[in-house]
Amino acid sequence: MKKEETKKYLDNKRSYNITPKKESPVSVRGSVMDVDIDLSKVEGLYREMKVHRMKRNYQHKLIRGLKLERDRYSDEVKAYVSQISELKNKRDSENLMAQEFKTLRNTALTNRDRASKNNNEADFKRFEAEQNQYHQDMVYKTEEAQRHQVKIDEISVFYTKANQACDAKHKEMMRIREKSQIFHQDLTECIEQIETLKAKYDIDYVEFGEEE
């Protein structure tokens, strides 16, 4: 074989013996382990989510019960307010009439005294009778006003108790509502983490053996 042919032969042989660079293979075992870990996370989050949902729903149940009690006291308070308002109007009306009768009585007394100075016996007797009647009417209206005030004072005791109970139920309801919001936030965070892991594998549903 000639020298040039020998060189060409060796060059061709080298070109066939060149080995391409190998790429690092993806570890199937590693990928499966990652999926198992994420699936375990999802299952843990799902269990945690159920607990938060149960706690939140229980708080909502308590809130509904407290709201019913609060509203019952609130209706009671409104009824007392209405009664007290009506009695106050009656009391004020009686006091106003008592004041008018007092003015009429005082006028009659003035006229009676004038008739007495003038030795006008007829007018004296007439104005004396008037002032007596106006005085009796004034006393009656004053007593009526006081009677209404007594009722106002009696109802005010029940109003105060009902109003305090209503306020207490409302505050308790607000306190529990704050707790329910915390549980709802915890629930929302679990759902967000689950959705993030589902999106990682582009899946819409994870089977847990029961509803998600």
Q: Where are the domains positioned within the chain?
A: 41-200
- Does residue 3 carry a pLDDT above 80? no
The yes-or-no verdict on residue 14 having pLDDT over 50 is no
Fold of 41-200: Helix Hairpins (1.10.287)
pLDDT higher for 8 or 135? 135
Going by pLDDT thresholds of 50, 70 and 90, the confidence category of residue 208 is low
**Number of CB atoms found within 10 A of residue 8's CB:** 12
Across the range 82-106, mean pLDDT stands at 98
Tokens matching residue 80: 């007392």
The model's confidence at residue 103, banded by pLDDT at 50, 70 and 90, is: very high
Residue closest to 90 by CA, chosen among 2, 154, 13, 152: 152
Q: What is the pLDDT of residue 86?
A: 98
pLDDT band at 203 (very low <50, low <70, confident <90, very high): confident
Q: Which pLDDT score, from 0 to 100, does residue 29 have?
A: 53
Question: How far is it, in rounded angstroms, from Cα 143 to Cα 155?
Answer: 19
Task: Give the pLDDT of residue 17.
Answer: 44
**Given this model, what pLDDT does residue 198 score?**
86
**Residue 31 pLDDT level (bands cut at 50, 70, 90):** low
Of residues 124 and 27, more confidence is placed in: 124
Give me 188's structure tokens. 């929302």
Of the two residues 9 and 89, the one the predictor is more confident about is 89
pTM: 0.69
209 φψ region: left (φ > 0), alpha (ψ -120 to 50), beta (else): left
Are 134 and 104 in contact by the 8 Å Cβ rule? The answer is yes
pLDDT at 117: 95
**Is 189 a residue whose pLDDT tops 90?**
yes
pLDDT of residue 59: 96
* pLDDT given at position 201: 82
Count the neighbouring beta carbons within 10 Å of the beta carbon of residue 9: 10
DSSP assignment of the chain, as one string?
--HHHHHHHHHHHHHHHPPPPPPPPP-HHHHHHHHHHHHHHHHHHHHHHHHHHHHHHHHHHHHHHHHHHHHHHHHHHHHHHHHHHHHHHHHHHHHHHHHHHHHHHHHHHHHHHHHHHTT-HHHHHHHHHHHHHHHHHHHHHHHHHHHHHHHHHHHHHHHHHHHHHHHHHHHHHHHHHHHHHHHHHHHHHHHHHHHHHHHHTT-S----SS--
